[in-house]
């Protein structure tokens, strides 16, 4: 089987850096995806409207999730789907319902821990604030204060010498509340500040979904700039690659499958929401696409039976300082191409037949790939892969890019790996 020319190169990684900077929250991430889809000729469809069976690119937005698909001319109702699955959320600090707090002359913002962040990576770092505001008239507005606004100050070493013996011990409630000013706490202060920042009238904001982000931009790193450091690579790297791959695959009317991008929210805390992978969003969109093209329940069953999903999420590159934490025969390297994730206890959804599908796509794209399996003494995490397979009854394969510092405020990968992943995804979507 001959390989096809690569679609993406270093420019893809440059664009990823812009995407990361523009996407400090899941709501911003799906807006960034929608902007790219619109430029490629996709159109948004509302879930509350009746859908038609016309060909072309379409997408649905729901909160911090997006599902996009491209229907080639003449696609039968039972045409199977090829899905790239990813998630838009990342571990961080999120603002509580009563955000204004403080003590001893410091004004602070009350935050709750979202997902499983490496807490120490959020200390002594200049933080911005971003997310979604719900307004009195029922509309929503995105907000992004992308400047030094908050900081979680670490206790000086002179006041905790035990760090030398015990290491840093952080209490999630007491030690992670950021400061943002001096003076007495004033109720409603944070929301008033955001209303002023957006030019809204006082009292117009009645609800919010807000989170902190590091304001330090992504950057190439190293002597030869062969590494990429940046925030939220878990898992906006996959969202970006999946978007680029879908746009590249769209436009061909000889596709044997209907290519799909499904980027969900709330993966970091279990996926159980109306925008999570364990919710009905993906199944609803796929079914409606079948029925809009005149399909029956039988056509839906046939389409799902032939569907394959690549669940793309970041994984663990071998750490040079902790190599013993990895399986000794599976040591994925940064810069070595995407990884295939395997776990026989179904924490990942990959099986042998799924491996063959991914291997074939990588071969067509001329992309190397690696395998990841956890050390038997250290049970692995999980992804949207097993959820997608079980909920929808479709073959799912877990893949991704190997990174270091997963769940840190700032992560690290090989600069070539994002475009190697994107090239493999194009080959997969095109069949």
Detail the residues annotated as belonging to a binding site.
Answer: 87, 158, 407
Strands laid side by side in the 43-44 sheet? 43-44, 56-62, 65-71, 258-264, 81-87, 308-312, 395-400, 339-341, 370-372
CA pair distance 30, 152, nearest whole angstrom: 28
Identify which of 313, 309, 272, 270 has the alpha carbon closest to the alpha carbon of residue 392: 309
Strands laid side by side in the 106-114 sheet? 140-150, 127-135, 205-214, 92-103, 106-114, 179-182
- For the CA atoms of 179, 180, 186, 189, what is the dihedral angle to 10 degrees? -130
Q: How many residues does the chain have?
A: 431
Contact predicate 426/245, CB 8 Å: yes
CA pair distance 267, 277, nearest whole angstrom: 7
Q: Which spans in 274-374 are helix H?
A: 281-292, 297-305, 352-365
Contact predicate 108/179, CB 8 Å: yes
Query: ∠ CA(177), CA(180), CA(185), 5° rounding?
Result: 80
Q: Which residues belong to the annotated binding site for Zn(2+)?
A: 87, 158, 407
Q: Which spans in 146-201 are helix H?
A: 163-166, 189-198
Contact predicate 288/51, CB 8 Å: yes
Q: Token match 């039972």: residue? A: 78
CB atoms under 10 Å from CB of 222, counted, come to 12
- For the CA atoms of 225, 231, 237, 239, what is the dihedral angle to 10 degrees? -150
> 188 — alpha (psi -120 to 50), left (phi > 0) or beta?
left
Name the β-bridge partners of 221. 227
Identify which of 418, 426, 367, 38 has the alpha carbon closest to the alpha carbon of residue 245: 426
Record the tokens describing residue 280, joined without a space: 């009905």
């Amino acid at each position: 089987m001959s390989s096809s020319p690569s679609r993406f190169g270093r420019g893809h990684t440059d664009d990823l850096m812009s995407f990361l900077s523009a996407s400090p929250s899941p709501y911003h991430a799906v807006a960034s995806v929608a902007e790219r889809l619109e430029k490629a000729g996709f159109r948004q469809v509302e879930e509350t409207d009746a859908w038609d069976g016309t060909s072309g690119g379409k997408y649905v937005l729901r909160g911090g999730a997006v599902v996009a698909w491209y229907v080639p001319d003449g696609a039968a109702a039972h045409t199977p789907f090829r899905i790239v699955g990813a998630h838009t959320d990342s571990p961080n600090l999120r603002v509580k319902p009563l955000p204004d707090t403080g003590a001893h002359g410091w004004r602070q913002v009350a935050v709750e821990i979202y997902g499983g962040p490496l807490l120490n990576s959020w200390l002594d770092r200049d933080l911005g604030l971003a997310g979604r505001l719900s307004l009195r008239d029922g509309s929503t507005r995105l907000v992004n204060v992308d400047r030094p606004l908050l900081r979680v100050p670490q206790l000086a070493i002179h006041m905790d010498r035990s760090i030398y013996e015990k290491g840093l011990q952080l209490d999630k409630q007491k030690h992670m509340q950021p400061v943002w000013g001096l003076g007495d706490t004033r109720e409603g202060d944070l929301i008033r500040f955001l209303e002023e920042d957006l030019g809204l009238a006082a009292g117009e904001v009645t609800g919010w979904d807000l989170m902190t982000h590091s304001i330090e931009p992504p950057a190439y790193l190293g002597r030869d700039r062969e590494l990429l450091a940046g925030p939220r690579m878990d898992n906006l790297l996959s969202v970006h690659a999946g978007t680029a791959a879908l746009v590249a695959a769209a436009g061909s009317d000889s596709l044997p499958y209907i290519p799909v991008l499904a980027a969900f929210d709330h993966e970091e805390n279990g996926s159980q929401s109306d925008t999570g992978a364990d919710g009905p969003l993906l199944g609803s969109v796929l079914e409606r696409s079948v029925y809009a093209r005149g399909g029956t329940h039988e056509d839906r069953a046939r389409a799902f039976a032939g569907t394959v999903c690549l669940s793309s999420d970041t994984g663990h590159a071998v750490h040079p300082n902790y190599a013993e934490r990895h399986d000794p025969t599976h040591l994925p390297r940064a810069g070595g191409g995407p990884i295939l994730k395997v776990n026989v206890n179904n924490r990942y959804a990959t099986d042998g037949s799924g491996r063959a599908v991914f291997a074939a796509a990588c071969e067509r794209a001329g992309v190397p790939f690696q395998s990841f399996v956890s050390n038997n003494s250290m049970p692995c995490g999980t992804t949207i892969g097993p959820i997608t397979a079980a909920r929808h009854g479709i073959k799912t394969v877990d893949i991704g890019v190997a990174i270091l510092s997963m769940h840190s405020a700032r992560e690290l990968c090989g600069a070539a790996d994002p475009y190697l992943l994107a090239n493999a995804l194009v080959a997969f979507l095109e069949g």
